[in-house]
Amino acid sequence: MAEIKVDNLQKAFGDFVAVKNSTFTIQDGEFFCLLGPSGCGKTTTLRMIAGLELPTSGCIFLDGEDVSLKRAAQRDIAFVFQLFALYPHMSVRQNIGFPLKSQGMGRAEIRERVAQAAQILQIPHLLNRSVSGLSSGDRQRVALGRAIVRQPKAFLMDEPLGALDTEFRHVMTGELRALHDRLKSTTIYVTHDQLEAMAMADKIAVMNGGLIEQLDTPRNIYDKPASLFVADFIGSPPMNFLSFHGNVEKGAEKVRVEGGEIGVPRIHESLGEGEFILGVRPEHVQFADGGALRGVVFGVEYLGTTQIVTMTTPHGTLRARAPADFILSIGERLSLALKPEKLSLFDKASGRAIS
Ligand code: ATP
């Protein structure tokens, strides 16, 4: 078990800074996701923690010990790669036991540890099979077996489900989280898939251009995005952004705009008079007579249990989630209400959340 602390970590490749002054702590036993688009620095961060890449500056602490300059093999961390290079000519048992054999562990102990790992992953019946004939799910389990058999202090995983089809990914995210709940080992999981991160993580760090934009629980990241980038990256369909001109004052719970007021969560930064963005999730748009906003239906996407209604408004396009039985026609004019406590307010210039 391990607490992992990263202090002012930076990585440059020549002039290009891939990871910028990253500071965060992963609690012992936490499932921590590094989430962000391609090229934002997730893998580089993970490789530095694993010891596969040296930081340009900054430190990494494993249970309080500075391991920044230690080689990967000395860190007692298991790295699970995306492409599982199982040895095709070996049995499942030999594949899982391989890391222990390389460490020079005795046969009896290897047998016992492999049996334990197989039990945890519910694959004891496969131990004597060859890996070449296994389904992709069972191959994933064997690869995980090879990681957990070492009983490392922490697991690092880089898009381990990247090669799987969507349906099977869904099954494996559930299994990975269940495995984590059984082993309770600190896990860092890299993904660009927000749904995967939301489903599994205790904490998510959303990265953008080498920087952590927000580090929080999945719920807070969804409900209280710290920036336009985070708000846009999380949620499907993503949060709507409506542009307004108005007066934004610290401490207020409404903003004055032309023709009225909009209720918002308490504002923590004054902008004075200027441009701001109102963020509203599709499920928080209400179809209500006398609502503050007018929309004209532009498109309807029927999803079975709900439908996504795209509307034009004077402040931008708005997508709303509506009940499946709500009958709408293209060109219809609607009155819309927005739940004040569910809104997010952003400074248009900086992109930062201000309420
Ligand atoms: P992906 O999901 O595509 O792997 P990522 O968020 O994991 O993206 P990184 O692999 O960490 O991103 O890469 C961050 C940036 O650093 C990218 O622009 C990448 O091209 C660059 N980079 C990574 N490794 C090297 C390297 N060895 N030399 C030069 N540039 C690199």
Ligand 1 centroid vs 113 CA: distance in angstroms?
36
Band of residue 83 on the pLDDT scale cut at 50, 70, 90: low
More confident residue, 91 or 140: 91
CA of 226 to the centre of ligand 1 (A): 24
Which H helix or E strand runs over 299? Answer: strand 293-302
Residue 157 three-state SS: strand
Kindly report the CATH number assigned to the domain that includes residue 311: 2.40.50.140
ipTM of the complex: 0.97
pLDDT at 82 over 60: no
Q: Evaluate if residue 122 carries a pLDDT over 90.
A: no
Please tell me the total count of domains within the chain.
2
Last residue of a domain, one of 231, 254, 287: 231
| Same domain membership, residue 247 and residue 169 | no
Amino acid in the structure at residue 41: G
Around ligand 1, the residues with Cβ closer than 6 Å are 13, 18, 36, 38-44, 192
Nearest to 9 by CA among 54, 75, 72: 54
What is the residue whose two structure tokens read 């998510």?
A: 204
Sheet holding 260-263, edge to edge: 260-263, 254-257, 240-248, 272-280, 344-347
Q: Which residue has the tokens 């909009």?
A: 262
* Nearest-CA residue for atom 31 of ligand 1: 13
Please report whether residue 328 resides in a domain: yes
10 and 130 assigned to the same domain: yes
Q: Would you say residue 254 lies in a domain?
A: yes
| Domain edge (last residue) among 231, 265, 298 | 231
Q: Which domain holds residue 18?
A: 4-231
What average pLDDT does range 33-49 have in this prediction?
97
- pLDDT, position 123: 92
Q: Tell me: pLDDT of 22 over 90.
A: yes
* Side-chain-facing half-sphere of 50: CA atoms under 13 Å: 20
- Asked whether residue 354 is domain-assigned, the answer is no
The enclosing domain of 141 has a CATH number of 3.40.50.300
Asked whether residue 17 falls in the same domain as residue 121, the answer is: yes
Mark whether 259 and 201 lie in a shared domain.
no
Residue ranges of alpha helices (H) inside the chain are 42-50, 92-102, 107-120, 136-148, 166-183, 194-200, 218-223, 228-233
Q: What is the mean pLDDT of the chain?
A: 92
User: Cα 36 to chain center, whole Å?
Assistant: 7
Residue 355 covered by a domain? no
Kindly state whether residues 183 and 306 are assigned to the same domain.
no
| 182 has pLDDT over 70 | yes
What is this structure's pTM? 0.90
SS3 assignment for 222-290: HHCCCEHHHHHHCCCCCCEEEEEEEEECCCCCEEEECCEEEECCCCCCCCEEEEEEEEECHHHEEECCC
* Same domain assignment for residues 120 and 251: no
On whether both 43 and 168 belong to a single domain, the answer is yes
Residues 170 and 246 both lie in one domain: no
Is 169 among the domain residues?
yes
Same domain? 190 vs 325? no
Q: Is residue 353 part of a domain?
A: no
Please indicate, yes or no, whether residues 176 and 261 belong to a single structural domain of this protein: no
Q: Tell me, yes or no, whether 134 and 64 share the same domain.
A: yes
- Provide the 3-class DSSP secondary structure of residue 292: coil
352 in a domain, yes or no?
A: no
The residue from 181, 211, 231 where one domain ends is 231
What amino acid occupies position 2?
A
Verify that 132 and 200 share a domain, yes or no. yes
| Mean pLDDT, residues 202-227 taken together | 97
Confidence of residue 114 (pLDDT cuts 50, 70, 90): very high
- State the average pLDDT over residues 229-248: 94
- Diameter of the chain by CA atoms? 79
Q: How far is the CA of 210 from the centre of ligand 1 (A)?
A: 10
Q: How far is the CA of 238 from the centre of ligand 1 (A)?
A: 26
